[in-house]
Amino acid sequence: MQKKLVTIIFQTTSSCNLKCGYCYCRSNEDNTSRLSVDTVGKCVQRIADFFDDDYEICFLFHGGEPLLLGKRFYKDAFQFLKQRMEHKYYIGIQTNLVLLDDEFIELFRENCCSISASLDGYQPFNDLYRKYHSGQGTYVDVTLNMRLLQERGIQYGIVSVINCQNVRSPREFYCFTKEHPNVLFGLSPMFLKENENVIAPYPDQLGSFLIALFDFWIADPTPPRISLFEEIIRNLVEGNRSTVCTFHHDCSEVFFAIDGDGNVYPCCHFVGRGELCYGNLLRSSFYDVYNSDRRRSISERTIRSNNPCQTCEFFEMCFSGCMATSENGINSKDYFCNAYKMIFSHAKNYMEKSLRRMP
Ligand code: SF4
Ligand code: SF4
Ligand code: SF4
């Protein structure tokens, strides 16, 4: 039987050495708590006690910027995982990559960490929003460090935030992905509420971008790895078994974010939002957290009879999308609904046409 993958996101700190124009962590800047090895230890023990052998656990160190916690923290935390975890587990780091150095690389290699770094496209697109506090863009430093990872034979993934600028240039974005062979790309549509939304793409713009990108990708004999498209094709062929959290049938079942004080939230987008906190792992078991009324209520959001998504042709591929980019509170559908309808429909038509052409 295939094991279920659970992702535990450790929110290491909300501080960051960068000041990106779209950072959602800024709303949480007052929270100065930093994850300690002691908290990691207590939480990991609770997690190991709860999940049985049917599960594999991915521990993802997230931020702010997780490398700000320094090497000592990671040496001790990884050692602790080795000692306590009897399940199969993975370690991931989601980083802006600018603090990477030889010692970090060795540490990540020794502990088989998968690295996911942020880069939004070629320099003019990336440096528009991804900046140091001085205002200088990060492209040069990040790509140098990516080269360092390549030279050392270390695999990494790239998360690209799609904003109101790069969304207009799918061809350039596709050429950019081609320059990173064997790298898995995650596309994350930019979304900030209220007046900051001005730098987010409109849903129709995002849909057109995805369609153009898909057409380059599907026609390419050596396509780059773009997780959204791999997932859509897999879903169309095999039915939904999404690993991309946006289209998971219930992300609250398999994604959990833990802050420096041991509080547990649906994911890193909600850290600090007390009304969505499931409980505290320093004081309660993972069983109590998992069975909390809040988690159960979130878990039921897509199956509630008043969810209008249930009549959508693509419900089984989308499950109302992401709560963090929902139109109007976590119970409503994804703001990017129309973009997803556009790309699902386009990919489905493509598949149907290809099948008809088969002898
Ligand atoms: S690197 Fe991440 S945490 Fe840091 S400012 Fe940019 S978006 Fe925010
Ligand atoms: S809320 Fe959105 S970003 Fe968070 S785990 Fe669920 S789908 Fe992913
Ligand atoms: S595509 Fe839109 S309507 Fe359909 S399930 Fe997704 S969010 Fe709901």
Tell me: the pLDDT tens digits for 217-268?
A: 999 999 999 999 999 999 998 876 777 899 998 999 999 999 999 999 999 9
Task: Please report which confidence band the pLDDT of residue 30 belongs to, taking 50, 70 and 90 as the band edges.
Answer: low
pLDDT of res. 1:
72
pLDDT tens per residue, range 195-206: 555 688 999 999
Q: Report in angstroms the alpha-carbon separations of 171 from 94, 130, 149, 206, 215.
A: 26, 21, 26, 14, 10
In a 3-state reduction of DSSP, which class is residue 36?
A: coil
What is the 6 CA–ligand 3 centroid distance (Å)? 24
* Ligand 3 pocket member 336 (CB < 6 A): no
Quick one: which ligand is closest to 117's CA? 1
Closest ligand 2 atom to the C-alpha of 251?
6
What's the whole-number mean pLDDT along residues 337-345? 97
∠ Cα 283 284 290 (to 5°) = 145
Q: Which residues pair with 161 in a beta bridge?
A: 188
Quick one: which ligand is closest to 345's CA? 3
C-alpha 207/C-alpha 182 separation (Å) is 25
C-alpha 284/C-alpha 95 separation (Å) is 30
What's the whole-number mean pLDDT along residues 96-124? 96
Q: Where are the alpha helices (DSSP H) in the chain?
A: 37-50, 70-84, 102-110, 123-129, 139-151, 170-178, 203-219, 227-238, 251-254, 286-290, 293-299, 315-318, 337-357
In a 3-state reduction of DSSP, which class is residue 257?
A: strand
What is the 147 CA–ligand 2 centroid distance (Å)? 30
> Would the CA dihedral through 267, 333, 217, 161 be positive or negative?
negative
- 22 contacts 325 by C-beta, under 8 angstroms: no
What's the whole-number mean pLDDT along residues 58-84? 95
